[in-house]
Structure formats: C-alpha cells, structure tokens
C-alpha cells in the first residue's frame, strides 16, 4: 500500500516508467533498449542478468552433449557400415569360391572370371565362372579316357601282379580291386582313366 503522506508520483514519471518497461520487454527492440540502459546506468539490474549466466552455461553444456551424441551416432553408423561391408565382401568371396569350385577353374580362369565381372560391372560370380569355363574348355587327354595304350596281358610286358591275379586267381583279383575301390573311389576311377 502506498504511503498516504508521500507526495503523489507525477503522471509523466508513471508514463515514462510504463514506456521503459514496455520497451525493455519488447521482442524486437527490448534487448537494444536494455543494453542502452545498462550502458547509461550500469547499476540497473534486469532479470536476464541473473538468468543469462545460468542459461548460457546450460546452453554450452547442451551443445557439448549434442556434439558428443552426434559423434557417437556417427561412430556407430560408421561401425555398422564397416560390418555390413565386411559381411557383403565375405558373402561375395564365398560365392566366388563356390563358383570357382563348381566350374573347376584354374587360377587363370578364376582371374578371367573376376576380370569379366569388373569389365562388365555385373557381379554374378556363377555367370562369370561359367563364362570363364567356356573360354578355356578342359581338353581331354586321350590317354585319360581311353584306358591303357598298350595291352599287357598276364603282366608279360611289365610285371603286374593284378593282371596275373586276374588270370590265375580271379577271386583274389576281385577282392583286391574291390578293396582298393572302397578305400578311395575317386582315385580308383582316376587310375582307370575315366575321371576328367
């Protein structure tokens, strides 16, 4: 309550006070007016004088947190991208090796398949391996699929115990041959000249 003994405040002062309050609170010019008032009267305190230091410290801390979060998110994204790339590379290598084995490519044929993929910019490992296999068909050695080239009856030319057993003791020959076949069928077929 106002003191009844105090002299009344002149209307001009009240209007000036209202104008200053309005100007300092204005969104467009308020900050400039407050700066001018502080320049002219340094002892005048505005609410932001107490709030700004705390708010500025919080803003700095918030910016630091944002930067740290962004750096962490970038690191996680880069790590994920690297893992994904490694998985894709391993899967592609696996496809290449499977195609190489399927088409029985030589090292030169394998290189041809890789060169074909890079030249054509088509990374279908099986198609490239098939193409490379067609470029270098496996030539068959006649000796490999025609069997022996000189007859060796009864092991007459070279001492061959198997031929001798075939003619002298067929049961023993069959037992030995079956044992050899069962122990390693692939090798047996290759020795007979029928494997590619």
CA–CA separation, 143 and 190 (whole Å): 11
CA–CA separation, 67 and 78 (whole Å): 16
Q: For residue 60, what is the enclosing H or E element? A: helix 47-102
Which is nearest to 46 in space by CA: 13, 15, 20? 20
**pLDDT per residue of the chain (196 residues) written in tens, 0 to 9:** 556 677 888 888 788 778 778 877 788 888 888 888 888 888 887 777 777 777 888 889 999 999 999 999 999 999 999 999 999 999 989 999 999 888 888 889 889 998 999 998 888 998 999 888 888 766 555 555 555 556 656 555 667 777 777 778 888 888 888 898 899 888 888 887 775 5
* Angle between helix 47-102 and 107-120 (nearest 10): 130
């Amino acid at each position: 309550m106002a003191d009844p003994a105090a002299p009344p405040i002149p209307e001009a002062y009240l209007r000036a006070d209202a104008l200053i309050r309005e100007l300092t609170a204005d969104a467009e010019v308020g900050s400039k007016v407050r700066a001018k008032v502080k320049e002219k009267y340094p002892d005048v305190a505005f609410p932001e004088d107490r709030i700004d230091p705390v708010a500025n410290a919080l803003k700095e801390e918030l910016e630091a947190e944002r930067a740290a979060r962004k750096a962490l998110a970038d690191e996680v994204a880069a790590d994920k991208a690297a893992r994904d790339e490694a998985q894709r590379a391993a899967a592609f290598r696996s496809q290449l090796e499977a195609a190489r084995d399927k088409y029985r490519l030589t090292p030169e044929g394998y290189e041809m398949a890789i060169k074909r993929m890079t030249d054509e910019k088509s990374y279908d490992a099986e198609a490239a391996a098939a193409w490379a296999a067609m470029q270098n068909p496996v030539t068959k050695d006649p000796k490999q699929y025609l069997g022996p080239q000189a007859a060796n009856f009864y092991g007459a030319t070279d001492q061959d115990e198997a031929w001798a057993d075939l003619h002298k003791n067929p049961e023993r020959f069959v037992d030995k041959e079956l044992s050899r076949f069962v122990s390693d069928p692939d090798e047996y077929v290759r020795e007979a000249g029928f494997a590619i």
